[in-house]
Amino acid sequence: MSSLRPEDELPEPPALRLLRRLVTVLMVVMIGAVVAMTALLWHGYSNARAPLPERIALPDGTTATAFTQGPDWYAVVTADDRILIFDRAAGTLRQSIAILPQATGADPASP
């Protein structure tokens, strides 16, 4: 095998030099995007909310079927078709919403 001498090397074409720089810039941008997304996820999950109570006192005779929460409230959907909204900090009932039955024959997609 013959080895190439420095004077035998061909100069780098300008298009190849541009392509190498573009790939390097793309790599730096992608690394920055991964770091930024990781920071945003960490920031989003680190927001502290008031803790939920150990137990939620529901009115007598109600059974919970679903649960959801907001920044300063949490809600419990009951088996008797009510939504009970509680204050997160105080644990007191803020609002009770009755879910009305759907009219028979009505199209659920229509407004």
Q: Which residues contact 96 (CB under 8 A, 6 or more apart)?
A: 82, 83, 84, 85
pLDDT for 85: 94
More confident of the two residues 2 and 18: 18
Whole-angstrom CA distances from 43 to 47, 71, 81 are 7, 16, 36
More confident of the two residues 8 and 40: 40
Cβ atoms within 10 Å of 57's Cβ, excluding its own: 10
Cβ atoms within 10 Å of 12's Cβ, excluding its own: 9
Question: Helix (H, G, I), strand (E, B), or coil: what is residue 78?
Answer: strand
Reported as a pLDDT band with limits 50, 70 and 90, residue 88 is confident
Find the largest Cα–Cα distance for the chain: 93
Separation CA 96–CA 82 (nearest Å): 7
Answering whether pTM is above 0.75, one says no
Residue for token digits 């907001």? Answer: 70
More confident of the two residues 12 and 108: 12
Query: Across all residues in the chain, what is the average pLDDT?
Result: 84
pLDDT digits (tens, 9 = 90+) for 43-59: 877 766 666 677 788 88
